[in-house]
Structure 1
Amino acid sequence: MTVAAPALAELREVCQPQAKLASRNGEHWAGRLYMRAVSLRVTRQLVRTSVSPNTLTWVMVVCGVGAGGALLIPGLPGAVLAVVLMQGFLLFDCVDGEVARWKKQFSMAGVYVDRLGAYLADAALMIGAGVRAARGGSELWVSVGLAAALGVVLLKASTDLVDVARARSGMAPADEESTQPRSQGIATARRLASVFKIHRVTNGIEASLVLLAAAVVDAVVGHTDPTQVTVAAITVITWGMVVAHLASILSSSRLR
């Protein structure tokens, strides 16, 4: 017997709570801009099947890690495939939670794999970018990519470790108000970063688009210097963000 697909309005009310979509830290801008509209239609079909949210989370992980692997393919095809796979990563990052809310199938394992996937996807993309930059140049670029990968992992870990520290101290997760720096200088720097959005290149979704643009320029000029410059810039920005993010955490009320 075929199960009827739920109405989109009903599905949206259950699967896309406004509190989550409105959260600055809880929802990627691309999710709000377009992916939630796509994911809801995918979710509408998947809730009619026996597929579990955890299975969808693993699909998300495969897409994310695969994006890094795609960058090993020379030229534009590899860069385009990396973007497509990172968009798949974002899609299934939306879909797994939506299916979980509709089916009321929640698990700590799912949360754990979801966070692990975010670490792996961004790190794999940076490593792939480093290997890509090394083609036709020095093997040193592989180390630059590894440095970027380590930086993005530290960025994510520094955020997650706040929750670990609070949980071990018997406190509830930090709310958005507590993330505001108490230092006026750090608060100003944070506002400037928010205006220019430069920190977004530390995220695999945005980084894949930047690397695609670099690959286009590579194809025009006939060498990989643009990709090398891009990888170097991402690495510098990432490590600048590591220091800035740590300062922001320590100057806020999150650990007090």
Structure 2
Amino acid sequence: MTTAPALAELREVCQPNAKLASRNGEHWAGRMYMRTLSLHATRQLVRTRVTPNALTWTMVVCGILAGFALLIPGLWGALLAAVLFQLFLLFDCVDGEVARWKGQNSAVGIYVDRLGAYLADAALLVGAGFRAARGGSLLWVSVGLAAALGIVLLKASTDLVDVARARRGLPVATEESTAPRAQSIAFARRIASAFKIHRITNGIEASLLLLAVAIVDAAINSTEPTRIAVAAIAAVSWVMVVAHLASIMNSSRLR
């Protein structure tokens, strides 16, 4: 087995400043703590034969299992789901780092990574819907499904910008092109960014929110807090679908 590379050398290659500084390219939890943890994992993994794509598939499995974990009654199911989503984030960092170090970047890896993001977030909200329906109406399953669909559409509306530009023969959109031209939409976007409410549509934040309300559930012996959380995620996701579409159409991303 080869000698593990120095952390400083590994960081320079695997964690380029351009990616970490990107507003849309790096999750806040990655910048806050996960990139520090992932670098130590990457340092050991680059010495093995494991491929970046294998790590990406592991990420996908962790995300989907988080949704199934929510079917476990009580606090333990929500705790397991949150832990699995932290592992999802870890492998989401590690697969790219290993790919950069080994020079094994591929279209397959990018595709599976994006597919995993769709599947993981959707699975979590479907699981949350079943969890909310426990001891009550199956209508909550539909609310969970609605939240999952909203989140998938939200992600798809972003990815379809790249599809549209590629088919038109245009380069990848810059972050500057995302700025809305209308002042009213720009103002609304700044307000949303200030309150960060849109973050609950992301699987990482949603899993932590569901863990928090599970603690309240256990304290008051009720599933009402979970139901409120699932309904809130569904409502925010669909508001964001409409707002994001308006922002895209009013920016230079498709020009």
TM-score in terms of structure 1 length: 0.99
> Percent identity, aligned pairs only?
76
Structure 2 partner of 1:116: 115
Deviations 1:93-133 (A, max 9, x none): 00000000000001101100000000000000000000000
Establish whether residue 78 from structure 1 lines up as the match of residue 77 from structure 2.
Answer: yes
1:73 is paired with a residue whose SS is coil
Establish whether residue 24 from structure 1 lines up as the match of residue 23 from structure 2.
Answer: yes
AA in 2 matched with 1:227: T
Deviation beyond 3 Å, 4+ runs, structure 1: none
Structure 1 partner of 2:200: 201
Structure 2 partner of 1:42: 41
Establish whether residue 166 from structure 1 lines up as the match of residue 165 from structure 2.
Answer: yes
Matches within 5 A, 1:126-165: 126-165=125-164
Deviations 1:53-99 (A, max 9, x none): 00000000001001111000001000000000000000000000000
Deviations 1:170-226 (A, max 9, x none): 000100000000010110011011110000000000000000011011001111011
User: Within 1, Cα distance between the matches of 2:247 and 2:206?
Assistant: 23
User: Within 1, Cα distance between the matches of 2:127 and 2:203?
Assistant: 11
Structure 2 partner of 1:251: 250
AA in 1 matched with 2:112: V
User: Within 2, Cα distance between the matches of 1:214 and 1:137?
Assistant: 17
Establish whether residue 96 from structure 1 lines up as the match of residue 95 from structure 2.
Answer: yes
AA in 2 matched with 1:153: V
Deviations 1:207-247 (A, max 9, x none): 00000011011001111011001100110011000000000
AA in 1 matched with 2:83: V
TM-score in terms of structure 2 length: 0.99
User: Within 1, Cα distance between the matches of 2:136 and 2:235?
Assistant: 19
User: Within 2, Cα distance between the matches of 1:168 and 1:241?
Assistant: 26
AA in 2 matched with 1:150: L
2:241 is paired with a residue whose SS is helix
Pairwise CA RMSD of aligned residues? 0.4
AA in 2 matched with 1:183: A
Where structure 1 has 5 or more consecutive residues not aligned to the other structure, the ranges are none
User: Within 2, Cα distance between the matches of 1:135 and 1:223?
Assistant: 10
AA in 2 matched with 1:242: V
AA in 2 matched with 1:81: L
User: Within 2, Cα distance between the matches of 1:229 and 1:19?
Assistant: 38
Structure 2 partner of 1:231: 230
Establish whether residue 241 from structure 1 lines up as the match of residue 240 from structure 2.
Answer: yes
User: Within 2, Cα distance between the matches of 1:222 and 1:22?
Assistant: 43
AA in 2 matched with 1:217: V
AA in 2 matched with 1:238: S
Structure 2 partner of 1:220: 219
User: Within 2, Cα distance between the matches of 1:137 and 1:175?
Assistant: 47
User: Within 2, Cα distance between the matches of 1:75 and 1:193?
Assistant: 33
Q: How many pairs were matched up?
A: 255
Structure 2 partner of 1:185: 184
User: Within 1, Cα distance between the matches of 2:179 and 2:251?
Assistant: 6
User: Within 2, Cα distance between the matches of 1:206 and 1:98?
Assistant: 23
